[in-house]
Amino acid sequence: MKQAIVGAGPSGYVTVDFFTGDYRISAQISVRNRTVNDILNDKRVSYIEVFDAYISRISQPGYIVGSHHVALLRKDSISFAVVPMEESRPSGQRAYRYGGKWLYQVFCTLPAFEVQGKVRTTGKLDLYAFLVTNVDDFVILTEPLARVANFPDNTFSGESFLVNRLLISMFCANEQPELAE
């Protein structure tokens, strides 16, 4: 079997781009048998331990201003995280909550960012349920694109985003969903 060159340290580590209002932090997190979604939505822990963190300012996201072997991130300050698709979904018994065949195009504003993407639902998207009564703090956006409000040329994309709904100041959705493949 061919093995992909992953380069994220020992197995069980995933490289994630975290975005706060001012910084981009590219770091590795230990997921073991869980996913990044599980870790960010684990309400028992308010921080996340990361390894090999490389920090860039949002105004110059390609320029690395510092690196540290180990760091702690406060979950409530993370605007969104760029993660591989398989890491964006919850694992185990929580997995059933993320099905659905409808995709709604959504747009939201976060501190320093404008984010667009798609939300998958089983039925009609209930904005209130999604944004206010949702159990999970970090919600999944697929086909995402984030734009820095003050530097609109700086955009970020990825397979999926985990967006901190508690930091969303405005959340909009298209009325007509599309059928997911």
Partner 1 sequence: MPTVLIIDDDHSVLKLLDFAMSNAGFQVVLAGDGMSGLEKAQASPPDLAIVDVMMPDLDGYEVCRRLRADPRTANIAIIVLTARAQAVDRETALKAGADDYLVKPVMPEDLIRMAQEVLARPRAAGPVVEHPQGRFVTVFSLRGGIGVTSLAVNLAVAFAHLRKKEVALLDLNFLSGHVALMLNLKAHLTLANLLEPGGKADEQALDRCLVRHSSGVRVLAAPPQPMMPAPDSARGVEHIVPLLKGNFPYIVTDTAPSLDAVTRAALTACDVLIVVVAAEVQALHTAIASLPVLKTLGHADEDLWLVLNQNTPQPSLPEQMVSKALQRPVRAQIPYEPALPQAIQRGVPLILDKPRSPMAIAIARLAYQIDRHFES
Question: E strand or H helix at 130, and its extent?
Answer: helix 127-131
Number of residues located near partner 1, criterion CB under 8 A: 29
Told to check if 71 binds partner 1 by CB under 8 A, we report no
Return the sign of the alpha-carbon dihedral for residues 154, 155, 161, 166: positive
Residue 12 sits in the site that holds partner 1 (CB under 8 A): no
Among 52, 53, 49, 57, which residue's Cα sits nearest to residue 24? 57
Residue 62 in contact with partner 1, rule: CB under 8 A: yes
DSSP for 41-97 reads T-TT-SEEEEEEEEEEETTEEEEEEEEEEEEEEEGGG--EEEE-HHHHS--GGGGGG
Interaction of residue 170 with partner 1, rule CB under 8 A: no
CB of 129 to partner 1, least distance (A): 30
Stretch touching partner 1 by CB under 8 A, among 38-46, 57-65, 72-80, 105-113 = 57-65
- According to the binding rule CB under 8 A, does residue 9 interact with partner 1? yes
Nearer to partner 1, 52 or 136 (CB): 52
| Residue 17 interacting with partner 1 (CB under 8 A) | yes
Q: Does 54 bind partner 1 (CB under 8 A)?
A: yes
Q: Residue 153 contacts by C-beta under 8 Å, 6 or more apart in sequence?
A: none
Is 47 or 63 the residue whose CB approaches partner 1 more closely?
A: 63
> Is residue 160 involved in binding partner 1 (CB under 8 A)?
no
Residue number, 158 or 177, with CB nearest to partner 1: 158
Whole-angstrom Cα distance, residue 137 to residue 43? 9
CA distance 137 to 110: 14
Shortest approach of partner 1 to residue 94 CB, angstroms? 26
Residues of this chain, 87-146, that bind partner 1 according to CB under 8 A: 145
Strand partners, 170: 109
Residues near partner 1 (CB under 8 A) are 2-10, 15, 17, 26, 52, 54, 61-64, 67, 69, 82, 145, 152-158
